[in-house]
Amino acid sequence: MCIRDRYRDGELVDSGITSSNGDYIYEADIGGAEDVPMIAAHISTVFRSRETDAVFIEGIFQVSDDYLELSQGDSFGKMEISTISSSGITMKNEDSISLSRGNTISLMGNVSFKVADSNVLRFYPFVEVKSAPQDQLRIETPDVFVVGEAAEISVTARDAAVSDVEIRLGNQSIGTTGDDGILAYTPTLEGDFTLYANKAGYLSGSKDVDIVGAGVMKLLLSVSPDNIREGDQISIRVTDSAEKQPVPGADVFFGGQKVEGQTGTDGTVSYWVTAPGTFTVNATKAGYEEGEIIVEVSEDKAEFEFSDLLIEPASVKGGDAVTIQVNVTNTGNIAGETEVELLVNNETVDSETVSLEAGETTTVEFSHTEKEQGDYTVEIGDLSGTYEVTKSTPFLTGAATIGILATAFILLRKRRD
């Protein structure tokens, strides 16, 4: 069995116990309907051990309580409700809807049809959704908390203080921020925890924190430069958690291997990075709690991205060429070359090799011709587009035209005779 809590806008509204292979169902009255299942979750397995507790959920179902009352005959744009039953709602359009070439036709609300700019009628329905970007909550705290000592937890969004933000330490709610966006908190337990900040209308924030016992100092590490590449010499600085003062004589480990020497009087030691990847940097010294930091080392390589695929014209007659352009950018940190491959209907039809310095962009252009009528899909990298080939117009020479006219004239003469 497991204890489950249900929150609404950061407030606890329901709590209870659900057994393994059981269902949690929350029901509410909506409009004239009673006991409507609003939330349903199936608890598959509850696992418990000395080191880890886990709950496995096999599915969650939720519906909104923001509803719209409907009646037969109600109109929405070009559509009108004709029947309402337990099996569904049927809507019909009284007048005809013209699907004009290359247009977007509004059907009702945010539902529309998009019609292709083509001689062949092709269209699809779509729903337009506009969502306002939410602000990200950011948590600012001391690097280390001390048991029994009050510390401030500050929450901001776009550099402005945010009030009424619920702060959770792990699974425990420890309070909400005041008008100044600050929550004062005095920890009671040692360990490594994650702080969470939640408020309706904002993107939740989180931050990992260390809580040490009273009188204990933890080693703090920082690494420069911020962006580390393979082959760089980095500087690792060690300070104490109390006064942020340099700690000399500390042993430093990079990826599990001890760095030659110890930190100097300025608390720093240098290290040459020889391989890319993700590494843990540790520092130890007698009388201090060990500190660590995770660093990313990027590989020296050329990486290429494609953008702005352009196909002109969008429709051609059989035998006429289309021009296909694409921008290629080297987003890596060294010079390199790549092959730009042009695929039409999943077949390679052309390619070009380009060489670019780091950060450089160039435009690659292809010319391609198809004789058969139809729609063709163009692909370069992860980009794709389409164009149309229409039936070519037969071309008759002047001699052929005169020959046809002469034949018609002879036939007419024979009929008259």
Rounded CA-CA distance 362/356 in Å is 8
Q: Please give the average per-residue pLDDT across 308-331, as a whole number.
A: 92
Whether 395 has a pLDDT exceeding 70, the answer reads no
Query: Do the beta carbons of residue 271 and residue 236 sit within 8 Å?
Result: yes
Is domain 135-212 given the CATH code 2.60.40.10 in the classification? Answer: yes
Give pLDDT tens digits for 118-170. Answer: 888 899 999 887 766 678 999 999 888 989 999 999 999 988 999 999 999 98
Q: Specify the amino acid at residue 311.
A: I
Share of the chain above pLDDT 70, in %: 92
Give me the residue label for tokens 């020959």: 403
Bridge partners of 310, per DSSP, are 325
Residue 120 — φ and ψ, nearest 5°?
Answer: -90, 130
300 strand-pairing partners? none
Confidence of residue 417 (pLDDT cuts 50, 70, 90): low
Give the containing element (helix H, strand E) for 296. Answer: strand 291-298
Domain spans in the chain, listed from the N-terminal domain onward: 2-62, 75-127, 135-212, 218-298, 304-390
Is domain 304-390 in CATH 2.60.40.10, yes or no?
yes
Question: Helix (H, G, I), strand (E, B), or coil: what is residue 351?
Answer: strand
Whole-number Å distance between alpha carbons of 42 and 59: 6
pLDDT digits (tens, 9 = 90+) for 42-71: 888 887 766 567 788 888 888 887 788 888
pLDDT (mean) for 107-116: 87
pLDDT tens for each residue of 339-392: 999 999 988 999 999 999 989 999 999 999 999 888 899 999 989 888 988 886
State how far the Cα of 365 lies from the Cα of 321, in Å rounded to an integer.
12
What pLDDT, on the 0 to 100 scale, is given for residue 197? 95
Fold agreement between 218-298 and 304-390: yes
Q: What homologous superfamily does CATH list for 218-298?
A: Immunoglobulins (2.60.40.10)
Reply yes or no on whether the pLDDT at 409 is more than 90. no
Tokens of 393: 């117009």
Q: Is the pLDDT of residue 233 over 90?
A: yes
Backbone angles phi, psi at 8, to 5 degrees: -135, 120
With cut-offs at 50, 70 and 90, classify the pLDDT of residue 201.
confident
Helix and strand totals (H; E) in the chain: 1, 39
Q: What is the pTM of this model?
A: 0.43
Alpha helices in 327-397 (DSSP H): none
The pLDDT of residue 50 is 63
Q: What's 36's DSSP letter? A: E
| pLDDT (mean) for 75-103 | 86
Q: Give the number of other CB atoms < 10 A from CB of residue 43.
A: 20
- List the one residue out of 235, 258, 257 whose CA is nearest residue 246: 235
Instruction: Using only the alpha carbons of the chain, give its radius of gyration.
Output: 34
